[in-house]
Structure 1
Amino acid sequence: MSTPTMDDAAKVLADPKAYTDEAGLHAALTHLRANAPVSWVEVEDYAPFWAITKHADIMEIERANDIFTNSPRPVLVTRQGDEQQAAVGIKTLIHMDDPQHRDFRAIGANWFRPKAMRALKDRADELAVQFIDKMAAEGPECDFVQQVAVNYPLYMIMTLLGVPESDFASMLRWTQELFGSDDEELQRGTMEESMGALLEMFQYFTELTASRRAEPTDDLASTIANATIDGKPLDDIETVSYYAILAAAGHDTSSASISGGMAALLQHPDQLARLRNDMSLMPLAVEEMIRWTTPVKEFMRTAQRDYDLRGTRIKAGESVLLSYVSGNRDEDVFVDPFSFDVGRDPNKHIAFGYGVHFCLGAALARLEINSFFSALLPRLEWAELAGEPAHMATTFVGGLKHLPIRYRLRA
């Protein structure tokens, strides 16, 4: 088996600022798919890893979850970040492997099944109208990300958890600081200070657990607080980790898809007109918005034994980075992948992952995006960009952090 030399283009995957320049990022990833789809990456401050950029290879590794495990390195962070996460002892679903992952996933699974989503649809539609009414009142200009997109999915996931509205602002701040730790505008400060946001969230959810155990209620928080595995209740780290991943990932991913979807429609007015004229395309348009934005940029896996991929030997103990951003532009899978097509069908995107770790909240994300744009487009008389969109610096979860728009809405 041959071992390729490092391709410098792969360094973008460990550069948070690279994700603020979509043209440059995609140019590098296109090069990698064509010339070095399995590429060794060594970057200062990071433990080395293999960059996996082809759709088929990402799916192959996702399927082999007994060989490529989430533990001990589920996401790309610096060596210091690896050490700090290990010290805190986080145990979210993305840190787990089967059978533990299967058991913990089952705790919240019923809340995200089709029956539960049908029950949530009225709430999703109601909130969509409320935020579009706010857009109308605050118009004719707004920062669509900060005034709309970050709040709508936050209200949805907090409603599901049963968190009081008075705490929504704190939750938004914590999630933005956690996922924005690589962005100079959003970060709290040093790595240690950023970990403070995590600890504050942990403290909040520890108190929520105690409250739900003392007085159970009909919400997801109560389900988590009172869950048992093998007859034993979850410990503090396990319950808090469960809340944290749902609150943070369940908010930021949908926010990125909605804001990125809005930007894509404004940047492709032909597709906006097409969708407005045929709203039956909405389910396909939602999938295309998710593919186009790919809010979760990557996950890491660690090989438990030697594995051969495209003639390259990945050795036991080595990490691989699954670049979903690259996989969702793979020319071998998508016809004209750099075209935004609201009627794209089929659309085999992997923005929600694949296999046993497929995103638990995928149905909720689809519901939110569908409800929002189904409410917005019939009222949207016209809209245009009012400035340059700005992307968050990140290597994990994120999208636009600012989207200035100018618009007119029907009452």
Structure 2
Amino acid sequence: MSTAPHYEIDPQAFWADPYPDLANMRRDAPIAYVPQLGATLFTRRDDIFTCEKNVEVFSSDQPGGLMNVLMGQNMMRKDGEAHMAERKLYFPAVSVRAVRDVWKAQFQDHARAILEALRPQGRGDLVEHYAMPLSAQSLKSMTGLVNMRFEDMDAWSQAMIDGVSNYAGDPAVEERCHRATAGIDAAIDDMLPVVRAKPDRSLLSVMLEAGMPMENIRANIKLTISGGQNEPRDAIAGCIWALLSHPEQMALLEEGTVSWQQVFEEYCRWISPIGMSPRRVARAYEFGGVSFEPEERIFFMFSSANRDEGLFEDADRFDASRDTQKSIPFGAGPHFCAGAAASRAMVAEVALPMIFEHIAGLQLDDSEPVRVGGWAFRGPLNLPAVWKA
């Protein structure tokens, strides 16, 4: 076990709002062992930015980790040449060029169809009725699993997210994760003859054409669904919530002082949809006055890094005009999120401008409070809104 000081949390309170505890840790114990999570947490941005790149010590290869056990070993759980070789075969499907030339138009088509059905209703939950189906329909296109229902895409993503953050070992959570991965495997099997007969730009087709082993394809599709559904879903809903609850920021947007892209980047700093990344200590090491032993579990807390007072003034405030260059919502180093370009396009270039263009008089429904939860993954759980039908 590391020599890091211990910091106790209330797991339920941490799930509801991790930021007070994270602020305390940044101030008093920036590298702290949290018994309730069985991990040593890094909470300051510069420490995380430095150590995340040191893969020889803080390794993504976690043979006994929840993600490997439940979903198979994907490229995010590999380091060095093994990671880069797999990423090279994966990346052409999600590159900036692929997003520009192929996916953005499909994102727009999905958003338009959803908004046309939503507009006459005059009210609804924008997580359930906009953010979730838009993210899921877009992800169906990108993965190539167009045979899935968008509801299953979301449910299976959530089940895997819950599974890989199930540090309490709840057997019911693990079982839901197993059912989700089995469903994804069945969907892949169903689509294999289709993309073999007619290759396309989807992840399934691109990885298959590149000769990636089937076991790796399955693991990387599951990785993509686990993070590629919840992060855009939560960012879409979260950005809308942030703007509607901060009218002064909406005014800056409307007058052209800030852009949709700035709104997205600031939201991902303020409420990090992906709040942490786990690592395994590969060898004995000392950093920041703390000695680490092999096989310890480390959490790099992106959510804490992005509210580091040393880099962001008034860090708890949503301010789309601030400089967010030091924030790390997509990680840093070799494991920087491969889907970042797709996420930015889906949220900032499509989902946000299109809903405010197509839905008039959009405002929060004050009859029901917005609920936000999570620490490993965080976002609005609901977003009740009303508008002009």
Same fold per superposition (TM over 0.5): yes
Contact in 1 for aligned 2:58/2:281 (Cα 8 Å): yes
In structure 2, what is the equivalent of residue 128 of structure 1?
111
Equivalent position SS for 1:308? strand
1:406 aligns with 2:386: yes
> Cα gap change, 1:144/1:316 in structure 2, threshold over 3 Å: closer, same or farther?
same
2:39 matched residue in structure 1: 49
> What is the CA distance between 1:220 and its match in structure 2?
2.7
The equivalent of 1:197 in structure 2 is 180
Q: Are the aligned partners of 1:20 and 1:391 in contact in 2 as well (CA < 8 Å)? A: no
Distance 1:383 1:87 in 2: 43
Which residue of structure 2 lines up, in the alignment, with residue 396 of structure 1? Answer: 376
Q: How does 1:49-88 map to 2 (within 5 A)?
A: 49-72=39-62, 87=69
Could you say which residue in structure 2 is the equivalent of 1:377? 356
Q: CA deviation at 1:218?
A: 4.4
In 2: Cα distance, 1:164 partner to 1:301 partner:
33
Cα deviation, residue 106, structure 1: 0.8
Distance 1:194 1:269 in 2: 39
**Aligned residue number for residue 336 of structure 2:** 358
* Structure 1 residues 4 and 243, CA gap change in structure 2 (3 angstroms): closer
1:388 maps to a residue whose letter is P
Distance in 2 of aligned mates of 1:390 and 1:350? 24
Q: Which amino acid aligns with 1:54?
A: R
Query: Residue 30 of structure 1 corresponds to which residue in structure 2?
Result: 23
The aligned amino acid for 1:69 is S
The two structures have a TM-score, normalised by structure 2, of 0.89
Q: What does 1:203-242 align with in structure 2 at a 5 Å threshold?
A: 203-213=186-196, 215-228=198-211, 233-235=212-214, 237-242=215-220
Note the 1:100-115 alignment, pairs <5 A.
100-115=82-97
Q: Distance in 1 between matches of 2:237 and 2:92?
A: 28
Confirm or deny: 8 A CA contact 1:279 1:374 kept in the other structure.
Answer: no
Given the alignment, which residue of 236, 240, 247 partners 2:225?
247
Alpha-carbon distance, 1:193 to partner: 3.8
Shift of 1:226: 2.6
- Which residue number in structure 2 is paired with residue 271 of structure 1? 249
| CA displacement 1:32-65 (0-9 Å, x = unmatched) | 000000112223xx6x321110001111111112
The answer (yes or no) to whether the contact 2:15–2:375 under 8 Å persists in 1 is no
SS at 2:205's partner residue?
helix
CA 1:3–1:244 in 2, change beyond 3 Å: closer, same or farther? closer
Are the counterparts in 2 of residues 294 and 351 from structure 1 also a CA contact under 8 Å? yes
| Match of residue 79 from structure 1 | none
Deviation at 1:288, TM superposition (A): 0.8
TM-score (norm 1): 0.84
* Aligned equivalents of 2:71, 2:334: Cα separation in 1: 23
Q: What do you get for the CA RMSD once the two structures are aligned? A: 2.6
8 Å CA contact 1:175, 1:252 repeated in 2? yes
Which amino acid in the other structure matches residue 106 of structure 2?
A: R
Equivalent pair of 2:40/2:297 in contact (CA under 8 Å): yes
Aligned residues: 380
Gaps spanning 5+ residues in structure 2: where?
A: none
Residue identity matched to 2:61: S
Q: Distance in 2 between matches of 1:166 and 1:218?
A: 18
CA distance in 2, matches of 1:341, 1:408: 28
Contact residue 142 and residue 405 of structure 1 kept, 8 A:
yes
CA distance in 1 between counterparts of 2:95 and 2:67 reads 31
Q: Percent identity?
A: 22
Taking the aligned partners of 1:173 and 1:104, their CA distance within structure 2 comes to 27
* Structure 1 counterpart of 2:145, from 163, 167, 186: 163
